[in-house]
Amino acid sequence: MSRPSIGYARAMDLRRSLAPASLLVVSVACSGGTGDAGTASESASTSTSASASTGSTGSAGGSSTGGGESTGSGGESSTSGTTGGPPEPEVMTLMEGVIFYDGYAGTVDEPVPAGILRHTNALVATRFDDAMLAKVQETMKVGVIIGARCDNYDRIGSVNLAMVPKGAQSYVPAEVERIEVARFITPFMDMNRSPKTVPYEWDAPNLVPILKDPELRATYDFWWELSVFGVPYAAQKEVSGCAGRIDTQAGTLLLYTDSMAPAQEFGVLLPLAIGADFNNYAEGASDMIGTTRKTIPFALPAASEEAQLVLITSNHGANDGGEEYIRRDHFVYVDGAEVHSYKPGRTSCEPFRYYNTQGNGIYGQKPRSDAEWQSFSNWCPGDVIDTRVIPLGAMAAGEHEFVIDVPDAAFVGGQGNFPLSLYVQAR
Protein backbone atom coordinates (compact mmCIF):
# COMPACT_ATOMS: atom_id res chain seq x y z
CA MET A 1 0.00 0.00 0.00
CA SER A 2 1.34 3.43 -0.87
CA ARG A 3 1.34 5.85 2.03
CA PRO A 4 1.83 9.61 2.10
CA SER A 5 5.20 10.65 3.47
CA ILE A 6 7.02 13.85 4.25
CA GLY A 7 7.76 16.60 1.74
CA TYR A 8 9.67 15.63 -1.38
CA ALA A 9 12.85 17.56 -0.63
CA ARG A 10 13.06 15.98 2.79
CA ALA A 11 11.92 12.51 1.75
CA MET A 12 14.57 11.96 -0.90
CA ASP A 13 17.09 10.44 1.45
CA LEU A 14 17.42 6.92 0.11
CA ARG A 15 21.04 5.92 -0.44
CA ARG A 16 21.59 3.53 -3.34
CA SER A 17 24.37 3.02 -5.84
CA LEU A 18 24.64 2.21 -9.52
CA ALA A 19 27.83 1.86 -11.50
CA PRO A 20 28.18 2.62 -15.20
CA ALA A 21 27.69 -0.22 -17.65
CA SER A 22 27.87 -0.58 -21.39
CA LEU A 23 24.39 -0.64 -22.92
CA LEU A 24 23.04 -1.88 -26.18
CA VAL A 25 19.72 -0.52 -27.42
CA VAL A 26 17.90 -2.67 -29.93
CA SER A 27 14.78 -1.99 -31.93
CA VAL A 28 11.36 -1.72 -30.31
CA ALA A 29 9.27 -4.84 -30.74
CA CYS A 30 5.97 -3.26 -29.76
CA SER A 31 5.16 0.36 -29.17
CA GLY A 32 2.20 2.63 -28.71
CA GLY A 33 1.20 6.16 -27.85
CA THR A 34 1.27 7.61 -24.36
CA GLY A 35 -1.84 9.73 -24.38
CA ASP A 36 -5.03 9.36 -22.34
CA ALA A 37 -5.63 5.81 -21.23
CA GLY A 38 -9.30 5.95 -20.39
CA THR A 39 -9.43 8.63 -17.70
CA ALA A 40 -10.43 11.49 -19.98
CA SER A 41 -14.13 10.84 -19.46
CA GLU A 42 -15.85 13.08 -16.92
CA SER A 43 -17.22 10.11 -14.97
CA ALA A 44 -15.74 9.43 -11.55
CA SER A 45 -12.74 7.12 -11.86
CA THR A 46 -9.96 5.83 -9.65
CA SER A 47 -6.29 6.91 -9.70
CA THR A 48 -2.86 6.71 -7.98
CA SER A 49 0.15 9.09 -6.43
CA ALA A 50 3.85 8.49 -5.53
CA SER A 51 5.54 5.12 -5.93
CA ALA A 52 9.08 3.86 -5.46
CA SER A 53 10.49 1.02 -7.51
CA THR A 54 12.32 -1.46 -5.36
CA GLY A 55 14.12 -3.15 -8.23
CA SER A 56 14.46 -6.44 -6.38
CA THR A 57 11.13 -7.67 -5.06
CA GLY A 58 9.26 -7.98 -8.32
CA SER A 59 7.08 -4.92 -7.83
CA ALA A 60 7.31 -1.28 -6.91
CA GLY A 61 5.20 0.13 -4.13
CA GLY A 62 4.81 3.87 -3.85
CA SER A 63 4.23 6.76 -1.52
CA SER A 64 2.83 10.23 -1.96
CA THR A 65 4.99 12.94 -0.46
CA GLY A 66 3.51 15.86 1.35
CA GLY A 67 4.59 18.88 -0.68
CA GLY A 68 8.03 20.48 -0.75
CA GLU A 69 8.67 22.31 -4.00
CA SER A 70 12.13 22.36 -5.52
CA THR A 71 14.46 25.31 -5.08
CA GLY A 72 15.79 26.43 -8.39
CA SER A 73 15.43 25.62 -12.05
CA GLY A 74 18.88 24.18 -12.60
CA GLY A 75 19.03 21.76 -9.70
CA GLU A 76 20.67 22.12 -6.33
CA SER A 77 24.43 22.06 -6.70
CA SER A 78 26.20 20.24 -3.90
CA THR A 79 29.75 20.08 -2.69
CA SER A 80 31.75 16.89 -2.48
CA GLY A 81 31.84 14.95 0.74
CA THR A 82 34.79 14.47 3.01
CA THR A 83 38.08 13.50 1.42
CA GLY A 84 37.82 9.98 0.08
CA GLY A 85 34.08 9.80 0.74
CA PRO A 86 31.15 9.94 -1.67
CA PRO A 87 29.95 13.28 -3.05
CA GLU A 88 26.96 14.96 -1.49
CA PRO A 89 23.55 14.07 -2.95
CA GLU A 90 22.24 16.14 -5.84
CA VAL A 91 18.69 17.33 -6.49
CA MET A 92 18.13 18.47 -10.08
CA THR A 93 15.07 20.35 -11.26
CA LEU A 94 14.54 19.39 -14.91
CA MET A 95 11.22 21.20 -15.33
CA GLU A 96 9.43 23.61 -13.05
CA GLY A 97 5.82 24.75 -13.28
CA VAL A 98 5.31 23.74 -16.92
CA ILE A 99 1.67 24.25 -17.92
CA PHE A 100 -0.38 21.53 -19.61
CA TYR A 101 -3.45 22.25 -21.70
CA ASP A 102 -6.58 20.53 -22.99
CA GLY A 103 -5.41 17.19 -24.37
CA TYR A 104 -8.10 17.20 -27.05
CA ALA A 105 -7.44 20.72 -28.34
CA GLY A 106 -4.95 21.82 -30.97
CA THR A 107 -1.46 22.41 -29.61
CA VAL A 108 -1.26 25.86 -28.04
CA ASP A 109 1.47 28.38 -28.82
CA GLU A 110 1.79 29.65 -25.26
CA PRO A 111 5.40 30.21 -24.16
CA VAL A 112 7.28 27.48 -22.31
CA PRO A 113 10.21 27.87 -19.90
CA ALA A 114 13.68 27.97 -21.41
CA GLY A 115 14.90 24.53 -22.44
CA ILE A 116 11.41 23.00 -22.64
CA LEU A 117 10.00 21.52 -25.85
CA ARG A 118 6.21 21.18 -26.14
CA HIS A 119 5.28 18.21 -28.32
CA THR A 120 1.55 18.44 -27.60
CA ASN A 121 -0.67 20.01 -24.98
CA ALA A 122 -0.16 16.83 -22.94
CA LEU A 123 3.54 16.12 -23.53
CA VAL A 124 6.63 18.25 -22.89
CA ALA A 125 10.32 17.37 -22.94
CA THR A 126 13.73 18.72 -21.97
CA ARG A 127 17.22 17.68 -23.03
CA PHE A 128 19.39 16.22 -20.28
CA ASP A 129 22.55 18.16 -21.00
CA ASP A 130 26.15 17.20 -20.24
CA ALA A 131 26.26 19.36 -17.12
CA MET A 132 23.33 17.48 -15.62
CA LEU A 133 24.63 14.12 -16.80
CA ALA A 134 27.88 14.86 -14.96
CA LYS A 135 25.91 15.18 -11.72
CA VAL A 136 24.42 11.70 -11.96
CA GLN A 137 25.97 9.52 -9.27
CA GLU A 138 25.17 5.87 -8.57
CA THR A 139 21.49 5.84 -7.70
CA MET A 140 18.43 7.80 -8.71
CA LYS A 141 15.00 8.86 -7.57
CA VAL A 142 12.43 10.54 -9.83
CA GLY A 143 10.03 13.13 -8.45
CA VAL A 144 6.97 14.85 -9.93
CA ILE A 145 4.90 17.66 -8.47
CA ILE A 146 1.53 18.34 -10.10
CA GLY A 147 -0.23 21.64 -9.48
CA ALA A 148 -3.98 22.14 -9.77
CA ARG A 149 -5.34 24.33 -12.56
CA CYS A 150 -8.51 23.94 -14.62
CA ASP A 151 -8.97 20.18 -14.62
CA ASN A 152 -10.71 18.82 -11.55
CA TYR A 153 -10.79 15.14 -12.52
CA ASP A 154 -8.31 12.30 -12.14
CA ARG A 155 -5.99 11.92 -15.15
CA ILE A 156 -3.15 9.67 -16.20
CA GLY A 157 0.40 11.06 -16.30
CA SER A 158 3.84 9.66 -16.98
CA VAL A 159 7.56 10.30 -17.03
CA ASN A 160 9.46 8.95 -20.04
CA LEU A 161 13.07 8.84 -21.16
CA ALA A 162 13.70 9.39 -24.88
CA MET A 163 16.92 8.54 -26.71
CA VAL A 164 17.25 11.13 -29.47
CA PRO A 165 19.96 11.28 -32.17
CA LYS A 166 22.89 13.34 -30.93
CA GLY A 167 22.55 17.05 -31.56
CA ALA A 168 18.92 17.05 -32.69
CA GLN A 169 17.09 20.18 -31.60
CA SER A 170 13.71 18.45 -31.71
CA TYR A 171 12.29 15.01 -32.38
CA VAL A 172 9.08 13.12 -33.08
CA PRO A 173 8.34 10.92 -30.05
CA ALA A 174 7.02 8.00 -32.08
CA GLU A 175 10.21 7.93 -34.17
CA VAL A 176 12.78 7.49 -31.37
CA GLU A 177 13.44 4.89 -28.69
CA ARG A 178 11.56 5.74 -25.48
CA ILE A 179 10.87 4.01 -22.19
CA GLU A 180 8.23 4.88 -19.60
CA VAL A 181 9.93 5.17 -16.22
CA ALA A 182 6.99 6.26 -14.04
CA ARG A 183 3.20 6.56 -14.20
CA PHE A 184 0.79 8.34 -11.90
CA ILE A 185 -2.82 9.51 -11.59
CA THR A 186 -3.78 13.01 -10.58
CA PRO A 187 -6.32 13.53 -7.80
CA PHE A 188 -9.62 15.36 -8.12
CA MET A 189 -8.38 18.92 -7.41
CA ASP A 190 -10.09 22.28 -7.08
CA MET A 191 -7.43 24.89 -7.81
CA ASN A 192 -8.97 27.23 -5.21
CA ARG A 193 -8.55 24.80 -2.31
CA SER A 194 -5.47 23.57 -0.49
CA PRO A 195 -3.43 21.51 -0.96
CA LYS A 196 -2.94 22.83 -4.48
CA THR A 197 -0.10 20.45 -5.36
CA VAL A 198 0.46 16.71 -5.10
CA PRO A 199 3.97 15.19 -5.14
CA TYR A 200 5.00 11.77 -6.36
CA GLU A 201 8.29 9.89 -6.15
CA TRP A 202 9.83 6.68 -7.42
CA ASP A 203 13.10 4.85 -6.79
CA ALA A 204 14.70 4.28 -10.20
CA PRO A 205 18.29 3.11 -9.66
CA ASN A 206 18.15 1.03 -12.84
CA LEU A 207 18.11 4.22 -14.92
CA VAL A 208 21.65 5.17 -13.98
CA PRO A 209 23.37 2.54 -16.16
CA ILE A 210 21.37 3.88 -19.09
CA LEU A 211 22.27 7.52 -18.48
CA LYS A 212 25.95 6.80 -17.80
CA ASP A 213 26.58 4.40 -20.65
CA PRO A 214 29.35 5.86 -22.87
CA GLU A 215 28.11 4.24 -26.09
CA LEU A 216 24.61 5.55 -25.65
CA ARG A 217 25.89 8.99 -24.72
CA ALA A 218 28.05 9.08 -27.84
CA THR A 219 25.07 8.27 -30.06
CA TYR A 220 22.08 9.84 -28.32
CA ASP A 221 20.98 12.80 -26.29
CA PHE A 222 18.66 11.87 -23.44
CA TRP A 223 15.43 13.83 -23.24
CA TRP A 224 13.14 13.60 -20.23
CA GLU A 225 9.44 13.77 -20.97
CA LEU A 226 6.56 14.66 -18.66
CA SER A 227 3.03 13.89 -19.80
CA VAL A 228 -0.38 14.69 -18.30
CA PHE A 229 -3.48 14.26 -20.44
CA GLY A 230 -5.86 16.83 -18.96
CA VAL A 231 -9.39 17.85 -19.90
CA PRO A 232 -10.89 21.18 -18.67
CA TYR A 233 -14.55 20.94 -19.62
CA ALA A 234 -16.00 20.02 -16.22
CA ALA A 235 -13.78 22.51 -14.38
CA GLN A 236 -14.90 25.30 -16.71
CA LYS A 237 -18.36 24.87 -15.19
CA GLU A 238 -17.55 23.66 -11.68
CA VAL A 239 -14.43 25.54 -10.57
CA SER A 240 -14.45 29.26 -9.87
CA GLY A 241 -12.07 31.10 -12.19
CA CYS A 242 -11.92 28.37 -14.84
CA ALA A 243 -14.64 29.56 -17.24
CA GLY A 244 -13.20 29.66 -20.75
CA ARG A 245 -9.76 28.39 -19.68
CA ILE A 246 -8.01 25.32 -21.13
CA ASP A 247 -4.93 25.09 -18.88
CA THR A 248 -5.28 21.84 -16.96
CA GLN A 249 -2.26 21.18 -14.70
CA ALA A 250 1.21 22.49 -13.87
CA GLY A 251 4.09 20.04 -13.69
CA THR A 252 7.54 19.92 -12.10
CA LEU A 253 10.05 17.13 -12.72
CA LEU A 254 13.00 16.44 -10.40
CA LEU A 255 15.83 13.94 -10.07
CA TYR A 256 17.68 12.93 -6.94
CA THR A 257 21.00 11.09 -7.09
CA ASP A 258 23.60 9.92 -4.59
CA SER A 259 26.42 7.36 -4.18
CA MET A 260 25.74 5.50 -0.98
CA ALA A 261 25.02 1.87 -1.93
CA PRO A 262 26.23 -1.00 -4.11
CA ALA A 263 25.76 -0.58 -7.81
CA GLN A 264 23.34 -2.30 -10.11
CA GLU A 265 24.97 -3.16 -13.42
CA PHE A 266 23.16 -3.71 -16.70
CA GLY A 267 24.73 -3.73 -20.15
CA VAL A 268 21.70 -4.38 -22.36
CA LEU A 269 18.53 -2.30 -22.75
CA LEU A 270 15.62 -3.55 -24.86
CA PRO A 271 12.68 -1.09 -25.13
CA LEU A 272 9.64 -3.24 -25.97
CA ALA A 273 6.49 -1.16 -25.44
CA ILE A 274 5.45 2.30 -24.28
CA GLY A 275 1.80 2.94 -23.55
CA ALA A 276 0.80 0.08 -25.87
CA ASP A 277 -2.91 -0.76 -26.03
CA PHE A 278 -3.84 -3.88 -24.10
CA ASN A 279 -7.47 -4.98 -24.20
CA ASN A 280 -9.61 -7.75 -25.70
CA TYR A 281 -11.64 -5.87 -28.33
CA ALA A 282 -9.26 -3.80 -30.49
CA GLU A 283 -7.25 -5.27 -33.34
CA GLY A 284 -3.61 -5.65 -32.28
CA ALA A 285 -4.27 -4.87 -28.61
CA SER A 286 -3.96 -8.55 -27.69
CA ASP A 287 -2.98 -11.80 -29.31
CA MET A 288 -6.56 -12.42 -30.39
CA ILE A 289 -9.86 -10.54 -30.22
CA GLY A 290 -11.77 -11.80 -27.19
CA THR A 291 -8.70 -12.55 -25.09
CA THR A 292 -6.65 -10.29 -22.82
CA ARG A 293 -3.34 -11.96 -23.50
CA LYS A 294 -0.46 -10.12 -25.12
CA THR A 295 2.77 -11.67 -26.44
CA ILE A 296 5.91 -9.60 -27.06
CA PRO A 297 9.03 -11.33 -28.40
CA PHE A 298 12.52 -10.09 -27.61
CA ALA A 299 16.06 -11.19 -28.34
CA LEU A 300 19.12 -11.03 -26.11
CA PRO A 301 22.30 -10.31 -28.08
CA ALA A 302 24.39 -12.47 -25.74
CA ALA A 303 23.97 -14.79 -22.79
CA SER A 304 23.05 -12.87 -19.66
CA GLU A 305 24.07 -13.46 -16.05
CA GLU A 306 21.08 -11.46 -14.85
CA ALA A 307 18.06 -9.99 -16.61
CA GLN A 308 14.96 -8.17 -15.47
CA LEU A 309 11.66 -6.93 -16.84
CA VAL A 310 10.44 -3.43 -16.00
CA LEU A 311 6.66 -3.40 -16.42
CA ILE A 312 3.95 -0.77 -15.98
CA THR A 313 0.23 -1.44 -16.45
CA SER A 314 -2.87 0.30 -15.12
CA ASN A 315 -6.55 -0.57 -15.43
CA HIS A 316 -8.89 1.98 -17.01
CA GLY A 317 -12.52 2.01 -18.09
CA ALA A 318 -14.92 4.23 -16.16
CA ASN A 319 -18.17 2.92 -17.66
CA ASP A 320 -20.68 0.91 -15.64
CA GLY A 321 -18.92 -2.35 -14.80
CA GLY A 322 -15.72 -0.95 -16.29
CA GLU A 323 -12.25 -2.28 -15.70
CA GLU A 324 -11.27 0.54 -13.33
CA TYR A 325 -13.63 -0.90 -10.76
CA ILE A 326 -12.85 -4.62 -10.83
CA ARG A 327 -9.56 -6.03 -9.58
CA ARG A 328 -8.15 -8.67 -11.90
CA ASP A 329 -5.34 -11.20 -11.51
CA HIS A 330 -2.45 -10.45 -13.90
CA PHE A 331 -0.02 -13.21 -14.86
CA VAL A 332 3.41 -12.66 -16.44
CA TYR A 333 5.27 -15.41 -18.30
CA VAL A 334 8.68 -15.57 -19.94
CA ASP A 335 9.37 -18.48 -22.29
CA GLY A 336 6.26 -20.23 -21.02
CA ALA A 337 7.14 -20.08 -17.31
CA GLU A 338 5.23 -17.87 -14.89
CA VAL A 339 7.64 -15.28 -13.46
CA HIS A 340 5.23 -12.96 -11.66
CA SER A 341 1.58 -12.43 -10.80
CA TYR A 342 -0.21 -9.47 -9.29
CA LYS A 343 -3.59 -7.94 -8.60
CA PRO A 344 -3.50 -4.11 -8.79
CA GLY A 345 -4.87 -2.00 -5.99
CA ARG A 346 -3.98 -0.65 -2.56
CA THR A 347 -5.15 -1.80 0.84
CA SER A 348 -6.89 1.56 1.17
CA CYS A 349 -7.15 4.85 -0.71
CA GLU A 350 -7.92 6.86 2.44
CA PRO A 351 -4.33 8.19 2.73
CA PHE A 352 -4.90 10.10 -0.53
CA ARG A 353 -8.18 11.72 0.47
CA TYR A 354 -6.10 14.75 1.56
CA TYR A 355 -5.20 15.61 -2.04
CA ASN A 356 -8.72 15.18 -3.42
CA THR A 357 -10.06 18.67 -2.85
CA GLN A 358 -12.81 18.46 -5.50
CA GLY A 359 -15.92 16.58 -4.46
CA ASN A 360 -16.18 13.29 -6.37
CA GLY A 361 -17.93 9.95 -6.41
CA ILE A 362 -14.86 7.98 -5.40
CA TYR A 363 -14.19 9.43 -1.96
CA GLY A 364 -17.64 10.65 -0.97
CA GLN A 365 -18.38 12.29 2.36
CA LYS A 366 -17.26 9.53 4.72
CA PRO A 367 -14.17 7.29 4.93
CA ARG A 368 -14.45 3.86 3.37
CA SER A 369 -13.26 0.68 5.06
CA ASP A 370 -10.33 -1.26 3.67
CA ALA A 371 -12.76 -3.89 2.44
CA GLU A 372 -14.79 -1.28 0.57
CA TRP A 373 -11.71 0.09 -1.17
CA GLN A 374 -10.56 -3.39 -2.08
CA SER A 375 -13.95 -4.21 -3.55
CA PHE A 376 -13.51 -1.84 -6.49
CA SER A 377 -10.36 0.30 -6.64
CA ASN A 378 -7.44 -0.62 -8.88
CA TRP A 379 -5.68 2.62 -7.92
CA CYS A 380 -6.22 5.73 -5.85
CA PRO A 381 -6.69 9.31 -7.10
CA GLY A 382 -3.43 11.01 -6.11
CA ASP A 383 -1.18 7.91 -5.97
CA VAL A 384 1.36 6.41 -8.34
CA ILE A 385 0.92 3.39 -10.56
CA ASP A 386 3.45 0.74 -9.57
CA THR A 387 6.58 0.17 -11.61
CA ARG A 388 7.07 -3.60 -11.40
CA VAL A 389 10.67 -4.81 -11.60
CA ILE A 390 10.68 -8.56 -12.23
CA PRO A 391 14.00 -10.45 -11.87
CA LEU A 392 14.53 -13.18 -14.46
CA GLY A 393 17.95 -14.54 -13.46
CA ALA A 394 20.36 -15.86 -16.08
CA MET A 395 19.11 -16.09 -19.67
CA ALA A 396 20.50 -17.57 -22.86
CA ALA A 397 21.30 -15.51 -25.91
CA GLY A 398 18.71 -15.39 -28.66
CA GLU A 399 14.92 -15.31 -28.91
CA HIS A 400 12.63 -15.09 -25.89
CA GLU A 401 8.95 -14.42 -25.35
CA PHE A 402 7.13 -12.20 -22.84
CA VAL A 403 3.44 -12.85 -22.22
CA ILE A 404 1.01 -11.00 -19.98
CA ASP A 405 -2.42 -12.53 -19.41
CA VAL A 406 -5.46 -11.12 -17.58
CA PRO A 407 -7.89 -13.97 -18.21
CA ASP A 408 -10.88 -12.53 -16.32
CA ALA A 409 -10.87 -9.07 -17.95
CA ALA A 410 -14.25 -8.29 -19.55
CA PHE A 411 -14.08 -4.74 -21.04
CA VAL A 412 -17.83 -4.26 -20.85
CA GLY A 413 -19.22 -2.43 -23.86
CA GLY A 414 -15.87 -2.57 -25.65
CA GLN A 415 -14.50 0.13 -23.36
CA GLY A 416 -11.37 0.46 -21.26
CA ASN A 417 -7.67 -0.29 -21.67
CA PHE A 418 -4.64 -1.53 -19.75
CA PRO A 419 -1.89 0.66 -21.32
CA LEU A 420 1.32 -1.37 -21.14
CA SER A 421 4.93 -0.25 -21.00
CA LEU A 422 7.81 -2.73 -20.90
CA TYR A 423 11.54 -2.89 -21.24
CA VAL A 424 14.22 -5.48 -20.49
CA GLN A 425 17.61 -4.92 -18.88
CA ALA A 426 20.39 -7.51 -18.77
CA ARG A 427 24.07 -7.92 -17.98
Rounded Cα distance between 206 and 17, Å, is 10
Residue 5 lies in a domain: no
Run of H or E residues at 95: strand 90-101
Range of 145's domain? 17-74+88-360+369-426
The CATH number assigned to the domain holding 313 equals 2.60.120.230
Which is nearest to 401 in space by CA: 336, 305, 339?
Answer: 336
% pLDDT > 70, the chain: 80
Q: Do the domain assignments include residue 83?
A: no
Report the C-alpha gap between 277 and 420 in whole angstroms. Answer: 6
Half-sphere exposure (Cβ direction) of 88: Cα atoms closer than 13 Å: 10
What's the angle, vertex CA 422, arms to CA 419 and CA 427, rounded to 5?
A: 170
Whether residue 197 is contained in a domain is answered as yes
Is residue 96 in a domain? yes
Which residue in 5, 13, 7 sits closest to 256, CA to CA? 13
Round to the nearest angstrom and report the end-to-end CA distance of the chain: 31
Report yes or no on 1 lying in a domain. Answer: no
**282, part of any domain:** yes
Q: Using DSSP, state whether 70 is helix, strand or coil.
A: coil
11 belongs to a structural domain = no
Residue 316 near residue 377, CB atoms below 8 Å: no
How many Å apart are CA 418 and CA 13, to the nearest integer? 33
Asked if 178 contacts 163 with a C-beta cutoff of 8 angstroms, the reply is yes
Q: Which H, E and C letters describe 265-321, residue by residue?
A: CCCEEEEEEEEECCCCCCCCCCCCCCCCEEEEEEEECCCEEEEEEEEEECCECCCCC
Residue 132 lies in a domain: yes
Q: What is the pLDDT along the chain (427 residues), one digit of tens a residue?
A: 332 222 222 222 222 222 222 333 332 233 333 333 333 333 333 333 333 333 333 444 344 443 333 333 344 444 444 567 788 999 999 999 999 999 999 999 999 999 999 999 999 999 999 999 999 999 999 999 999 999 999 999 999 999 999 999 999 999 999 999 999 999 999 999 999 999 999 999 999 999 999 889 999 999 999 999 999 999 999 999 999 999 999 999 999 999 988 768 998 999 999 999 999 999 999 999 999 999 999 999 999 999 999 999 999 999 999 999 999 999 999 999 999 999 999 999 999 999 999 999 999 899 999 999 999 999 999 999 999 999 999 999 999 999 999 999 999 999 999 999 999 999 9
For residues 279-308, one letter each, b for 16 or more C-beta atoms within 10 angstroms of the residue's C-beta and e for the rest, the string is bbbeeebbeeeeebbbebebebeeebeebb
Q: Is the pTM value of this prediction over 0.95?
A: no
Give the total number of structural domains in the chain. Answer: 1
